[in-house]
Amino acid sequence: MEQIIKQGAVSFGLCSPDCVFSDHLAQALRIWSETVCADVALCVWSDCASFLEDAQTSGCAVLFLDADGGEFPSPAALRESPWGGALLLCSDSAHSAIHSYVFHPDGFVSKPVTAAALERPLARCFPRWQGALRRLEVFSERTRLRIPMCDLIWAEACGRSCILHIPQGAFPAGVSLLELTELLPEESFLRCQKSFLINLYRVRSEDGKAFRMSDGGRVPIGRDCRDAALAALAAHQARWSGIAR
């Protein structure tokens, strides 16, 4: 068993003899985990027999099974093992995908793997890894709230505090925008103006003057930082989708 991502809150696993694929999946998972602000570890087994030997102690919440390499375990072997996580099959062949559905997987990941390709199958098994999400603790009207960082769409300054915009709506938080910026990972969040901060993953479009966010909000881009803000968005989108720009 090889660990190729630093130890985190939730363990993911991969069964594959293909080192190149293992490296690609590890890279995609790093980008995905940074984008959704989750702490995960990836453990790699070269074959399924080795994984089954470690199944009870591995703590593997989600297993990526390479449908194109090595011997598959029998469905009965998986059912009878002490492992009870989510199973995601990986292949570049639709034919392999169809035949491997005898395992009743929770999802399918097409090769080559990108961070964007991981989004939908991992969303289907969200309860398995939701404990990995980093959370933001803030006070709102004397109530302490803990929200996943990835749920923060954008924020705006409001005096010495700020307004946080999440999928459920907007609410005041007893923290300044500067303090909020220091609490959030800089690879995912951007101060695009003195009074505004955005989650780059939640940007849906831009017109050079403002970002259109996933909740419909329009966040202005400061003239002094326009070039840097647009470059940061382009770099984030290229890294997320796996497309070189």
Q: What CATH number did the domain enclosing 36 receive?
A: 3.40.50.2300
Same domain, 9 and 126: yes
Same domain, 12 and 112: yes
Same domain, 104 and 159: no
The pair phi, psi for residue 137, each rounded to 5°, is: -105, 120
Same domain, 166 and 119: no
Dihedral sign for Cα 37, 41, 46, 48, please. Answer: negative
Q: Which residues pair with 43 in a beta bridge?
A: 3, 13
User: Can you give the pTM of this predicted structure?
Assistant: 0.88
Same domain, 189 and 77: no
The CATH number for 233's domain is 2.40.50.1020
Same domain, 127 and 139: no
Pairing verdict, β 189-193 and 196-199: antiparallel
Is it true that the peptide bond before 112 is cis, omega within 30 degrees of 0? yes
Q: How far apart are CA 189 and CA 198, in angstroms?
A: 6
In this model, does residue 5 exceed pLDDT 90?
Answer: no
Average confidence (pLDDT) over 116-134: 94
Same domain, 44 and 156: no
Q: Which residues pair with 158 in a beta bridge?
A: 161
Same domain, 111 and 143: no
Among 34-38, 56-60, 73-77, 128-132, which stretch is predicted with the lowest mean pLDDT? 73-77
In this model, does residue 2 exceed pLDDT 60?
Answer: no
The angle subtended at Cα 245 by Cα 187 and Cα 33, nearest 5°, is 30
Q: How far apart are CA 192 and CA 199, in angstroms?
A: 10
Same domain, 148 and 92: no
Asked if 56 contacts 47 with a C-beta cutoff of 8 angstroms, the reply is no
Task: Show which of 111, 131, 151 is a domain's final residue.
Answer: 131
pLDDT confidence band for 244 (50 / 70 / 90)? very low
Task: Show which of 99, 116, 131 is a domain's final residue.
Answer: 131
User: Structurally, how many domains does the chain consist of?
Assistant: 2
Q: Which amino acid is it at 192? A: C
- Select from 88, 143, 78, 84 the least CA-distant residue to 111: 88
pLDDT confidence band for 29 (50 / 70 / 90)? very high
Same domain, 212 and 181: yes
Same domain, 38 and 17: yes
Same domain, 15 and 127: yes
Q: The domain containing residue 122 runs over which residues?
A: 2-131
Task: Show which of 114, 131, 148 is a domain's final residue.
Answer: 131
Q: How far apart are CA 69 and CA 82, in angstroms?
A: 23
